[in-house]
Structure 1
Amino acid sequence: MELFEKVHLQVTVESPRAIGTSRSLADRVFRGVSRGGGVAVLVIMSSVGVFLLARAWQALSVSGISFFTVVEWDPDGGAGRFGIAAVLVGTILIALVAIIVALPVSLATALFISEYCPEFLRKALVTLVDLMAAIPSVVFGLWGVFFLQGTITDVAKWLATAFGWFPLFAVDGFDPADPLSSITVFTSSTFIAGLVVAAMITPIMTSIMREVFSQAPGGEREGALALGSTRWGMIRSVVLPYGAGGIIGGSMLGLGRALGETIAVYMIISPVFVIQPHILQNGTSSVSSLIALRYGEASAAGMSALMAAGLALFLLTLVVNFVASTIVGRSRSGADN
C-alpha cells in the first residue's frame, strides 16, 4: 500500500515532458522572411494612411463632416464649401455597374475553365485570362473611347427607351418618340465607364473563382456523380457551395479595384460636379478622376482637399478588401486553405 502511494505521488507531481523542435536554417530563414513581409505590408499600409491623414488634416479641419455631404468643390473659397458627395456617388455607381456586369461573366468563365473546358485548351485559357489582368489601364481606356463608346450607345438608347420609367435608366432630354433625338446624350456616361472597368476586373475575379472551384473535394465530386447526378447537378451541389466564399470574396476584391480605377474612367467620362443618378446619361465623375483632374492646378488648400478625397477612397477600398478577406477566411474553401 505504501509503495502504491509513493508511486502515485511520484506520477502526480511530475511535470509534462517538454518537446522541442529543432528547425533547420532554411526553415528559420523562411519564417523570418514571411514575418518580415507581413510586417512590411502593415507598415506600408499604415504609413500611407498616416501620410494621407496628415496632408488632409487642413481641409478636414475646415470642412468637417460636411466634406462627405457637400456637392460643391471650392477649397480656395475660404467658406469651407467643398465636399465629395457628388464624386463619391459617381464612384459607387461606376463600381456597381462594373461588378454587376463582371460577376456573371467571371462566374461563367471560371466554371467553364474548371469544369467543362477540354484539357488541351485549359492551360491556354488560363494563360489568356491571366494576361488580360496585365493589360494597362490606358489600353482599356483607349478601347472604351474609340470602340466601345461608339458601339454601345445603341444599347444604352434601347435601355432608356424600354426602362426609362426607372430613375437609374432615365435620360434627361431624351424623347424615345423623336427619331432625331441626339445620341450624344448617351456618351461619356456611368454605364460606359462601368463596362470598361468591368472588362478590367473580370480577369481578376475569374482567376480567384477558378482557383477556388478547382480545389473542391474530389471525393464529393465523384460521390455526387456516382449517385446519378448530372455534371451540372454536381456543380450545383458540390462546386458552387464549396466556392461560395471565393465567389463573394473575388467579387468584392474586384469591387475594390473598380472603386479606385483612374485612367480608364478619366479618359471616358465627361466630368460634372453634380450628383448624377442616371447611369445612361452623359456626365459623371469619380473620386480618382477628380484627383487626376484637379491635381495639376491645385493650391495648398486644394491639395489638402484632394488628399482628403484620396483618404476617403483609401478607407473605402480598405474596408471592401477587409470584408472580402473576412468572408473568404470564414468560408469552407478559405478554412481548408
Structure 2
Amino acid sequence: MTIPNPADAGSGEALASPFPEPTPISTDPSRNATERPGDRIFRGLAQGSGIFVVALIVAIGAFLLWRAIPALARNEENFFLYGGNWVTTDTSAMHFGIFDLLQVTVFVSVFALVLAMPVALGIAIFLTQYAPRRVAGPLAYMVDLLAAVPSIIYGVWGLYVLAPVLKPVALWLNQNLGWLFLFETGTASVAGGGTIFTAGIVLAVMILPIITAVTREVFVQTPRGQVEAALALGATRWEVVRTTVLPFGMSGYISGAMLGLGRALGETIALLIILRGTQQAFGWSLFDGGYTFASLIAATASEFNDQFKAGAYIAAGLVLFILTFVVNSLARAAVAGKSAK
C-alpha cells in the first residue's frame, strides 16, 4: 500500500482560501422591477403637484412684493414702526405703517389660542378615552360642525348675542383688575362689547374645531398595546392618558394649535364686525379696539381703485403672508423636535 506524502498536498493555500461572498439580496422590491407606464405617470403627477404648489406660493409672494414696492417708495413713514392713522389720500406723500396692526393681530390671535387650547385638549381626551362610542361619534360631529358656520354669522352672534352676556364679566374685570394692563380701560367701550375681549372669545370658538379635530385624530393613533400595558400594571384611566396618550400625541396637539393660530391670524369678517376701529394707539388691553391686518384690508377695499392706495394695503397683506409662514415654520420645528426625542 502506498502512503501519500503530506508534502504532496501543497502548502494548504487552496484549503485556506476564503469562499466567495454571496451576492447580497436587495430588500427593495422595486430595484429590479420594470417601471410601468402608470407608475411613471403617477410619479410625474405627484412631483408636478409639489412643484406647482411651491411655484404658486412663490408667485403669490412675488406678486404682493411687486405691487407693494411703488406704495412703499412713496411712504413718508417707517413702515414697520409707524402706528398712527393711515393717510393715503395724497399718493405722492403717503403715511402708513403696520406697528399697531401687528400688535392687534398677534394679541387677539394669541388670546384666542390661549382660550381654545385647553378646551380642545379636554374635548379630544374625553372623546378618545372616556366617552362611550355611541356618544363620542355624535359629539365629535357636532364639534366639527362649528367649522362650517360662516364667519359673518360668528361676527353677528358675537356682537349682538355674546357681547351683552359678557358685559357684566367685562365690567367686573375692568373695575376690579383694572390695575393690571390687560384689564385696564382701553380704546373701546367696555360695555359696548366691540373689544379684543369679545373678539378673542369668538375667535377661540372659531378655531376650536380645527385644534380638536387634529388632536383627536392623533390621540386615536396611540398604540393599543401601550394603553393595555399601562392598564395591566394598575394605572388609572387618567394615568394612562398622562403617561401614554399625551406623550404620544403632544406633537399633533401642538401642530393643531399652530394650524388654529394660522386660522386666527387671517380671520377677517368676524373681527371686522366685532372690533371697533380707533384713532388711538394700541395699549395691550383686552378692552382695546383696533384693526387686524385682514380686517383693515377688508374695511378699505373701496380704495383699491388706485394702484398706490391698494399697494399700501397689499404691503400689509405681504407682512401677514410672511407672518403665517413664520407660524407654520415654528409649528413644523416644534413637531420635528418632538418627534426626534
SS at match of 2:96: coil
Give the 3 Å change call, closer, same or farther, for CA 235–7 of structure 1 in structure 2: closer
Which residue of the partner structure matches residue 318 of structure 1? 325
Which residue of the partner structure matches residue 53 of structure 1? 65
Q: Answer whether contact 1:160 1:280 (CA < 8 A) is retained.
A: no
Give the 3 Å change call, closer, same or farther, for CA 173–91 of structure 1 in structure 2: closer
Q: Does 2:158 match 1:144?
A: yes
Q: Does 2:326 match 1:328?
A: no
Written as runs of structure 1 = structure 2, the 5 A alignment for 1:158-177 is 158-172=172-186
Q: Does 2:194 match 1:188?
A: yes
TM-score (norm 2): 0.86
For residue 314 of structure 1, what is the amino acid of its counterpart?
Answer: F
SS at match of 2:79: helix
CA offset digits 1:294-325 (Å, max 9, x no partner)? 12124322111101000000100111012213
Give the 3 Å change call, closer, same or farther, for CA 331–120 of structure 1 in structure 2: same
Q: Does 2:131 match 1:125?
A: no
Structure 1 residue 327: Cα displacement: 2.2
CA offset digits 1:120-167 (Å, max 9, x no partner)? 122212222222212211111121122111111211112112321111
* Higher radius of gyration, 1 or 2: 2
Q: Answer whether contact 1:93 1:279 (CA < 8 A) is retained.
A: no
CA distance, structure 2, for counterparts of residue 30 and residue 127 of structure 1:
34
- Which has the bigger relative contact order, CA under 8 A and spacing at least 6? 1
The percent of aligned pairs where both chains have the same amino acid is: 39
Q: Does 2:245 match 1:232?
A: no
Match of 1:44 among 56, 60, 63: 56
Give the 3 Å change call, closer, same or farther, for CA 21–4 of structure 1 in structure 2: farther
Give the length in aligned residue pairs: 323
Q: Does 2:297 match 1:284?
A: no
Which residue of the partner structure matches residue 259 of structure 1? 265
CA offset digits 1:259-290 (Å, max 9, x no partner)? 11001100111112443224332522111111
Q: Answer whether contact 1:71 1:274 (CA < 8 A) is retained.
A: no
Q: Answer whether contact 1:141 1:265 (CA < 8 A) is retained.
A: yes
Which residue of the partner structure matches residue 120 of structure 2? 106
Give the 3 Å change call, closer, same or farther, for CA 256–123 of structure 1 in structure 2: same
For residue 144 of structure 2, what is the amino acid of its counterpart?
Answer: D
Give the 3 Å change call, closer, same or farther, for CA 293–16 of structure 1 in structure 2: same
CA distance, structure 2, for counterparts of residue 219 and residue 85 of structure 1:
52
For residue 280 of structure 1, what is the amino acid of its counterpart?
Answer: L
RMSD, aligned CA = 2.7
Name stretches of at least 5 consecutive residues in structure 1 with no aligned partner: 175-181
Q: Does 2:101 match 1:95?
A: no
